[in-house]
Structure 1
Amino acid sequence: MKRREFIAATAALLVSPQRSWAQGTRRRLGFLAVGDGSGQALNQTELALFDGLRSHSWIDGRNLIIEYRFSHPPDRLPASVADLIALSPDVLIVAGPRAAAALKSATATIPIVFVAVGNPVGLGLVQSLSRPGGNITGFATVVPGQFTSKMIGTLREMVPTASKIAILVNPGNPIHRLIVAEELPQTARKLGVALPIVEASTAEELDIVFASAAAQHADGIVDLGDPLTFVEAPRVIALAAKYHLPANYFFRHYANAGGLSFYGPDIADLFRRAAGHVDKILKGTKPADLPVEQPTKFELVINMKTAKALGLTVPPSLLVRADEVIE
C-alpha cells in the first residue's frame, strides 16, 4: 500500500466513529398518549413534550423516532401497550395513571417516564418520590391530601351557600378510587359540605351523571380529571350548562371553552419538563436515580361569562388570585 493511501485509510478509520457519533443513531421513544379523542393525534398539552425535547436537541425524525399509541378509549389500552413494548423503544413516556400502571405491568426493563399521575406512591408505581426504584419515574400532578380539598374549596368560594357538591369520578381511574377512599371524607368534614359521588366510565354515562347530580339537588360539581372527561370536554360543559350546575374542572381547556372555572397544575409544563428525564435516560441515567417531580405551576382560571349566565357573583378575593379571568 502506498504511503498516501495508508494515511487516507487510517484517517478514515479515525474519523468514521466520530462521524457516526455526530450523526447519531436515531433513538426510539414510545409515547402512550391520551390524544385529542380522535385516536389519531396528540392533544395540545401532550404536544408540549416536543418543545421540551427540542430544548435538549432531540428532534423527531432527525435523531429521534417517536412512535405513538393511544390509551383512549379504555378498550384500546391493552393493544396499544403491546404494540409499544413490541417496538423495544429506548424509553417509554405515558400520560395518566391507568396507562402508566398498564405499562409498568408490561415491562420491568424498558425505562418509563409518566406524566399526569396524581399519587404515584399510593398507586404503587414508585416506592417513594425521592427514590422511585425500578424502571419508572416521572411527574406527579398533585400533592396528596391537599389538592382535592383546594379544588372543592375553590368552587365553594364561588358558591358560598353550597351545602352539596357532586364529585365526578371515573370508577376505572385508580387515583379517583384513592381520593374517594382517603381524601373526600376528611374534605367533607373540613368544608362542612356533602360530597356525593357520581360515576362515569363512558361518554354516554356522563349524561346520567349530570342528571343524577341535579336530581340529588347538588349545588355544584367538581371534575377530578380523567382521560374520559378530557376528551369529552364539550359534552361535559354542555351538560353543566343544561342542568345549571356551577363546575370546577381539572383541565385548563374547559375554562377556555366555556366551563366556569379551572384550578389545577399546568400539565403542559409537566410534559415540557418530562423531556428532561427522557434526555437523561437516553444519555444513560437509570429511572431509579431520577426522583419523581411535582408541579411548580398551578393555575386558576375563571370564565366570567359563564359565571354571569349561572347568576354567580365571583368574590373579589377569588378574582385577585386568578391567573386569568375570561370576560
Structure 2
Amino acid sequence: MRRREFMGLIGGAAATWPSGIRAQQPATKVYRIGYLASASREQTLRNIGAFEAGLRSLGYRVGENIVIEYRFADGDMGRLATLATEVAGLGVDIIVSGTNATTVAAMKAARTIPIVMANSAEPVSAGLVASLARPGGNVTGFSSEPGDEINGKRLEFLKDTLPNVSRVGILWNPDFAPNQKRLASLREAGQTLGLTLVSAEARGPDILEPAFATLVRERAQVLVVLSDGVLFNHRGEIGVMAVRNRLPAISAVREYAEAGLLLSYGIDLADQFRRSATLVDRILKGTKPGDLPVERPTKYELVINLQTAKALGINVPPTLLTRADAVIE
C-alpha cells in the first residue's frame, strides 16, 4: 500500500473516532467580566483603556479568552441597581466597580459573585469591607483615600499658587458619606494655614448654579471640589462655572484638570484600574476576594491646566510647574 493511501485511511478513521478521543487540546476557557460604571463610556475611556491594558499584560485578550460586559449609568445614579442586577444575571465571573455607589449596587445584586472595586472612598466605614487587611465577603479592591493629609496638601497647592488667598470655597455633596470626614480634615488644615472655609452643597447638576452663587456671595477666592460619583460626572459643568466665576479650583484626579479646573492632586485613577486587572487575575485563578487585602494608592500626581491659568490671569509659580506630573497647555 502506498504511503499516501495509508495516511488517507488513517485520516478517514480518525474522523469516525469519538470527539472526546479526537480532541487533543481542551477548549480555552472564556471568562466573563462585568464592568459597572456610574458615568458614561465617553467619560471613562481612560479608565477602560487602562483596565483592558492591564488584562492584556496578564495574557487576557478581549473577545478571545475574556469577555467584558460593560454597563454605564450615564450619570443617572438611580439606574445603578437595575444595571447591577442585569450584569449579575449574565453569569459573570467577577464584577469590576468604579465608585462606592457602583460597589453598593453590585453587592446588593450579587451576594456571591466576586467584586473588585477599582476606586473606593473609606471602604471600611462605608460598609464595603470588614477591614483593609482582611476584607472578608466577596469584595476587595482599592481605596482612593491615602489619608486626611492629602486634603491639606490641596489647600497648600492653592496657597502656593495664590499666596494672598484667605477664603476657600468647598463644593461638596452631603449625600456622599465620606465627605463629612474630608470636610473636617479641610477645616483643620485651613485653620493651620489661616484660611476661612466657605461651604456650598451640591447634590446634583441642578444645584451647581446656586452653589456657585453662594460661593461668590461669600467671597470665596479659590475652590476645592470634593469629588464623588455625582460631581465627577458633571466635572465639565463645574470647570466652566469655576472659570466663569473667576475661581481657581482644585480637585482629586486628573480628569478634573482636564475638564477645566486649574489644578488636580491625588491618585492616578487610571493606574488603579490597570492594577485592578491583577486582582481580577488572582481571583480567576482561585484566590478568594475576601483574602486579598484592599490596596491603598501608591501613585499620586499633580496636574496643572495652563489654559485655565491663562483664562484666569494667573501666573503659576515656576516652582510649582517643576513639581507637576502633567501640564495641560
Q: Which TM-score band (shorter chain)?
A: 0.7 to 0.9
Q: CA deviation at 1:14?
A: 5.6
Q: What is the identity, as a one-letter code, of the residue corresponding to 2:25?
A: R
Equivalent pair of 1:32/1:94 in contact (CA under 8 Å): yes
Q: What is the identity, as a one-letter code, of the residue corresponding to 2:88?
A: I
Mind listing any 5+ residue stretches in structure 1 that lack a counterpart? none
1:104 aligns with 2:104: no
Structure 2 counterpart of 1:197: 199
- Partner of 2:25: helix, strand, or coil? helix
**Which residue among 49, 52, 59 is the counterpart of 1:50?**
52
- Partner of 1:54: helix, strand, or coil? helix
Q: Distance in 1 between matches of 2:72 and 2:64?
A: 23
- Partner of 1:299: helix, strand, or coil? strand
- Partner of 2:129: helix, strand, or coil? coil
Structure 2 counterpart of 1:310: 312
Q: Distance in 1 between matches of 2:97 and 2:257?
A: 25
**Which residue among 245, 250, 253 is the counterpart of 2:252?**
250
Structure 2 counterpart of 1:279: 281
Change (3 A) 1:276 1:138: same
Q: Distance in 1 between matches of 2:170 and 2:224?
A: 5
Q: CA deviation at 1:137?
A: 0.4
Q: Distance in 1 between matches of 2:254 and 2:54?
A: 20
Structure 2 counterpart of 1:31: 35
1:62 aligns with 2:68: no
Bigger Rg, structure 1 or 2: 2
Change (3 A) 1:264 1:153: same
Q: CA deviation at 1:11?
A: 9.3
Q: Distance in 2 between matches of 1:268 and 1:64?
A: 20
- Partner of 1:134: helix, strand, or coil? coil
Mind listing any 5+ residue stretches in structure 2 that lack a counterpart? 1-9
Q: Distance in 1 between matches of 2:45 and 2:230?
A: 13
Q: Distance in 2 between matches of 1:185 and 1:254?
A: 22
- Partner of 1:317: helix, strand, or coil? helix
Q: How does 1:129-208 map to 2 (within 5 A)?
A: 129-180=132-183, 182-208=184-210
Identity rate, percent = 39
Q: Distance in 2 between matches of 1:251 and 1:36?
A: 17
**Count of matched residue positions in the alignment of Structure 1 and Structure 2:** 317
Equivalent pair of 1:250/1:264 in contact (CA under 8 Å): yes
Q: CA deviation at 1:160?
A: 1.9
**Which residue among 223, 239, 264 is the counterpart of 2:225?**
223
TM-score normalised over the length of structure 2: 0.87
Q: CA deviation at 1:134?
A: 1.2
Equivalent pair of 1:165/1:193 in contact (CA under 8 Å): yes
Q: What is the identity, as a one-letter code, of the residue corresponding to 1:245?
A: L
Q: Distance in 1 between matches of 2:22 and 2:188?
A: 66
Equivalent pair of 1:230/1:251 in contact (CA under 8 Å): no
Root mean square deviation of aligned Cα = 2.4
Equivalent pair of 1:122/1:178 in contact (CA under 8 Å): no
Equivalent pair of 1:119/1:144 in contact (CA under 8 Å): no
Q: Distance in 2 between matches of 1:43 and 1:171?
A: 28
Change (3 A) 1:10 1:307: same
